[in-house]
Amino acid sequence: MMVILGVIILLILVAIGVSFFIAADHQTKIYEELEYENCELSNEQAEQIRQAKRNFSKPYTNMIITATVLCILSAVPLLCGVFFTKMLNGSQMDHLMTGLVAGTLVLVAIGVFFFIKSNITMDSYNILLQTADYTPKKKNGRRIMNKYAAIYWLTATMLYLGYSFLTNNWEHSWIIWPIAGILYGIIEKVLSLKNNDIAPE
């Protein structure tokens, strides 16, 4: 009964999470083109955004520090379980480790939340001001890659599944994904450099 209850709670949480993803995607869809197209701002608008970015710099740093510290300390609850190995029997130790794993996941979740929240806000300023990773030439490279992104990732999926099924080497075939991710970034960077004369800084 407890296993069934756990699965029910898991499905409820997944449903809530998916609904949040769908709602967020709908709200941000209208701004997605700003990541690929140049932003035309008046001097007054640009200055307002620069000021807002300056005001956000301290909270941004604090959130990044908090997130980093939490992710580093997230291993502490699990490590603390070692001190109780001789004091508890098997079932008690299992219950304790389950609680400690939950504590670790909570710390990681809070840290990831601060990472995402701070970077989304900072990236929004950079997109509008066309700075950091969103300069005109980098947007140009991103725009070109975006046209072929679906084909690229479908090809990577086909290679992964084809290799895995043919060789039955599932324990090693996962390496295709990090290679595909790194290669994607390299291609995007090369395209940005290639179009440097077309879309200057």
Question: For residue 132, is it left (φ>0), alpha (ψ between -120 and 50) or beta?
Answer: left
Q: Which of 66-75, 104-113, 137-146 has the lowest mean pLDDT?
A: 137-146
Q: How far is CA 45 from CA 21, 39, 51, 127, in A?
A: 30, 11, 10, 13
What is the three-class DSSP state of 107?
Answer: helix
Residue 35 has pLDDT above 90, yes or no: no
Residue 201's contacts (CB-CB under 8 Å, 6 or more residues apart) are: 135, 136, 137
d(C-alpha 201, C-alpha 196), whole Å: 8
Query: What does the pLDDT average to over 61-71?
Result: 96
Return the pLDDT at 198: 43
* 58 or 199, higher pLDDT: 58
Least confident of 61-65, 89-93, 120-124, 191-195: 191-195
Amino acid at 136: P
Query: What pLDDT is recorded for position 196?
Result: 55
Q: What is the CA radius of gyration of the chain?
A: 23
Vertex 110: Cα angle to 104 and 114 (nearest 5): 145
User: Angle at Cα 105 formed by Cα 18 and Cα 170, nearest 5°?
Assistant: 75
What does the pLDDT look like over 147-199, one tens digit per residue?
888 899 999 999 999 999 999 888 888 899 999 999 988 887 787 776 654 44
In 3D space, the residue among 67, 68, 75 whose CA is nearest the CA of residue 113 turns out to be 67
